[in-house]
Chain A
Amino acid sequence: MSAAEPSQGANSAPAGSSAAAQPQAWGEHTRVSRVVNGLFALVVSAGVSLGCAQAPPAADTAAAPTFDPARVAKGAELAAIGNCHACHTAEGGQSFAGGRALPTPFGTIYATNITPDIKTGIGRWTEAEFRRALHEGVDRGGHQLYPAFPYDHFTLVSDDDVGALYAFIMTREPVAARTPANRLIFPASIRPLLGIWKWLYFDPGRFVADERQSAEWNRGAYLVEGLAHCGACHTPRNFAGAEKRSERLEGGDAENWHAPALLAASPAPVPWTADALFGYLRNGFDARHGLAAGPMMSVVDGFANVPESDVRAIATYLTRLPGERRNAAAPDVVAAASAREFDPTARHAPDRASEASHAGAASRDAGEIIFAGACAICHYAGEALPARKPVPLALATSINATDPRDALRIVVDGLHPQPGDAGAIMPGFAGALTDEQIVAVVDYARARFSDAPRWTNIADTLRKIRREDGK
């Protein structure tokens, strides 16, 4: 049994969800009738729950329990691996106080306040209720939680680790901050219908180690598939927003960025090694792939401060999966990428209308001219930069990806380290270049630096990005 399908045989499937833990022996007919019955049951239960005031469990005492500092410290590391902070903190807001808008294909979900504030946070939650939320996707009042909260991964987390997370969260500063109401389209807006979603797509149960694999591999599997929830972004989702199990880690969406494929389907010209991946996850940069951008920035920030052995385990697991490309980079891939760098001294026909063209020099298209004037100041074949030389674009994952979204986002918004952090900077070109010009230069860069087929959807993707950003 693979680590990705932990539910069968898991001994702690909660009562009421045993159906979801059944093997896929159900016939088509059976499943359809279960859907119909389930719908009926949910409509009834929705009616019931709408009709009743919610009755929270009686444990109303706010007497702050004390926690062992070692447990709190352990929980802090686990929270960093789980990247709880990224979703549960609004931009410029207080840590874990929620309010961050998470874009989904079904509308906007606002991350909740998970500080121990009594009224607006989870100050009244017991450890059992907290554990139930992570393991079963149900809140304290018994309401279904949206899987934007990745309980489909967190269900694998051990009770002991959940307890440490609880100790960490409950010792944070309580912040009074009400979470805005979600803005979701019908029928996603009907929370009880999540019962059907879970029944179809959610297999609760703790992680089960694969005894044929090493302890480090299993540690990595436990973290990747569980708390670190890598698949939440890097696995594509189906029409219902559930991860496609047949395309695990083959590239998905992350807050309007493209999360590239990680395993054999990775678009990177140089296959990842465990060492390279470890360095990238720890430092946010790898000289043969590029740097962490977009939502990945906060992920690597978290990995900078957790036990090195955990990050190594993650890198080991992700580079020792079936189908993984194991070949180390052929040296000529790297050499070829360097040789392919833009040479600003290369002869070209003058673009001035006033001059006759030189014989033998090709004239340049609009994208190449923009590249020469805007990009080649850093992305060129040479060494004499005041700062670190960028990754050769021929090796950059964003330029070789199946989806132009990340390349476009980087050109539009640039790359900026978090305030106070060291890191690569690239200016955004949203103001300098029109959309048409951005499309031209990205099209040029793809054709110039990647052997992958040209993107045919650059302009459409940019329009989508503009819509998403409301720019």
Chain B
Amino acid sequence: MITLNVNGRARAVDADADTPLLYVLRDHLGLNGAKFGCGLGQCGACTVIVDGKAVFSCVTPISVLGGRAIRTVEGLGTVDDPGPLQRAFIAEQAAQCGYCIAGMMMRAQALIDANASPSDAQIRAHMMPNLCRCGTHMRILRAIRRAVDATHAASASTGGKHG
């Protein structure tokens, strides 16, 4: 039994220690946001956040995750109450087939958490590992920019405090 901290909740999992996190999220915990794309850590569809860093969950065995904070797209918001980044993706209609989008959002969230004011060049460089076969990259970039700007507008309207 290994205990994983997923989206702030402790989850006990009965799986082999070398099982990739992706399978545990989807098959054991019912968190189906992260997707299986290539299974080789090369496409980014499975991206989640571990201790603030975007990682490929398909090549991350659960043995390395004890005591570490795992965040998935389900931790960003819900259908009824989407988070700021999810709202920005909806506003820009950044998904076409949508298969890559959960991974895209998690990689973008890791950037925003580390750097509240990324430049466009920083966003592009940071998003490099994640692929979209539909070709909605420009909308994805706009969505991330929108989320960053919205956060700044919100903090400006509350007198500079982060809400």
- Which residues of A approach B to under 8 Å, CB–CB? 350-354, 366, 369-370, 372-375, 377-378, 385-387, 425-427, 429-434, 437
Q: Are B19 and A373 in contact (CB under 8 A)?
A: yes
Rounded to whole angstroms, the CA-CA distance of A425 and B53 in the bound complex is 20
Q: Can you name the residue of chain A whose Cβ is closest to the Cβ of B65?
A: A432
Shortest distance from the beta carbon of A462 to any chain B beta carbon, whole Å: 15
Residues in B whose Cβ lies below 8 Å from that of A378: 40
Q: Are A374 and B17 in contact (CB under 8 A)?
A: no
Interface size of B in residues (CB-CB distance below 8 Å): 27
B16: contacting residue among A351, A374, A432, A433, CB under 8 A: A351
The 3 closest A-B pairs by CB, nearest first: A373-B61, A431-B53, A427-B41
> Chain A at the B interface: mostly helix, strand, loop or mixed?
loop
A369: contacting residue among B17, B39, B51, CB under 8 A: B17
Residues in A whose Cβ lies below 8 Å from that of B16: 350-352
B15: contacting residue among A352, A386, A387, CB under 8 A: A352
Shortest distance from the beta carbon of B111 to any chain A beta carbon, whole Å: 12
- Which residues of B approach A to under 8 Å, CB–CB? 1, 14-20, 38-42, 50-51, 53-56, 58-64, 129
Given A352-B17, A354-B14, A431-B50, CB of A377 within 8 Å of CB of B64: no
A430: contacting residue among B19, B53, B61, CB under 8 A: B53
Residues in B whose Cβ lies below 8 Å from that of A366: 63
Q: Are A372 and B18 in contact (CB under 8 A)?
A: yes
Given A370-B64, A425-B42, A433-B64, CB of A377 within 8 Å of CB of B59: yes
Shortest distance from the beta carbon of B162 to any chain A beta carbon, whole Å: 24
Q: Are A352 and B59 in contact (CB under 8 A)?
A: no
B39: contacting residue among A351, A377, A431, CB under 8 A: A377
Q: Are A352 and B64 in contact (CB under 8 A)?
A: no
B64: contacting residue among A385, A426, A427, A434, CB under 8 A: A434
Rounded to whole angstroms, the CA-CA distance of A426 and B38 in the bound complex is 13
Shortest distance from the beta carbon of B64 to any chain A beta carbon, whole Å: 5
Q: Are B40 and A369 in contact (CB under 8 A)?
A: no
Residues in B whose Cβ lies below 8 Å from that of A427: 40-42, 56, 59, 129
Shortest distance from the beta carbon of B38 to any chain A beta carbon, whole Å: 7
Q: Can you name the residue of chain B whose Cβ is closest to the Cβ of A425?
A: B42
Rounded to whole angstroms, the CA-CA distance of A386 and B39 in the bound complex is 10
Residues in A whose Cβ lies below 8 Å from that of B51: 431
Q: Are B59 and A374 in contact (CB under 8 A)?
A: yes
Q: Are A386 and B18 in contact (CB under 8 A)?
A: no
Residues in A whose Cβ lies below 8 Å from that of B1: 352-354
